[in-house]
Amino acid sequence: MAQALRKEPNIVVTGTPGVGKSTICEELSRKTGLKHLSVTELAKKHNISTSSEDPEDPSTRIVDEDRLLDVLENDLEDGGTVIDWHACDLFPPRLVDLVCVIRCDNKILYDRLKARSYAEKKLQENMDCEIMEVLLLEARDAYDSEIVVELKSEKTEDIDSNVDRIEQWITQWKKDHGK
Ligand code: DAT
């Protein structure tokens, strides 16, 4: 019922840090006008994250998920959002229309995370996360398998092809929902 009220869908773009979520979200938002909700930015703006207690890795921020949902709720109810976060199972299924799990070859991911100057431990944890397909499994556990898609983002041209694919999906969603 709530789904039918939304004029535009809500899309979650998830994946291991560095796979290219923000890049796709920014381009998708630019081309479609959907609202890019970066959880990292929202957490800063609303002051809803704390430093990790790991002394080796104080740069990692822990987001208060209940408060995050409070912040996001109105936007999600209205629809037309692209949510950019390296977790996905916290977003209520009734408010999520598509989950894109962005994937990337390990060697490429390693270079991208190195370029971010990640500490070795954090870098390895993220590499393991990608190798073990943690986000893909989390998405498949939390949502209907029909709304979970895996998209590779390794080469520059993958950005446009992924955005085109999601745009086509949005057009179809609107037709299917009489929008
Ligand atoms: P995330 O938001 O998942 O952490 P990002 O969008 O910030 O990742 O991208 C990480 C880096 O990789 C950034 O320097 C842009 C680059 N990148 C992302 N997608 C790419 C692609 N398909 N081809 C080449 N570089 C890409």
Neighbours of 157 (CB within 10 A): 8
Domain that holds residue 130: 2-165
The residue contributing the CA closest to ligand 1 atom 8 is: 20
- Give bridge partners of residue 151 from the DSSP assignment: 102
Residue 49: the pLDDT is 87
Q: At 82, which CATH number?
A: 3.40.50.300
Residue 39 falls inside a structural domain: yes
Residue 89 falls inside a structural domain: yes
CA of 113 to the centre of ligand 1 (A): 10
Residue 16: the pLDDT is 98
Rounded Cα gap, residues 177 and 5, in angstroms: 9
Residue 172 falls inside a structural domain: no
Residue 112 falls inside a structural domain: yes
Residue 171: the pLDDT is 97
Average pLDDT, 10 consecutive residues per value, the chain (179 residues): 75 98 98 97 92 69 93 96 96 97 97 94 95 98 97 98 98 94
Domain count, the chain: 1
Residue 21 falls inside a structural domain: yes
The residue contributing the CA closest to ligand 1 atom 6 is: 20
Residue 62 falls inside a structural domain: yes
| Pocket of ligand 1, beta carbon within 6 A | 15, 17-23, 112, 153-156, 158-159
Residue 56: the pLDDT is 67
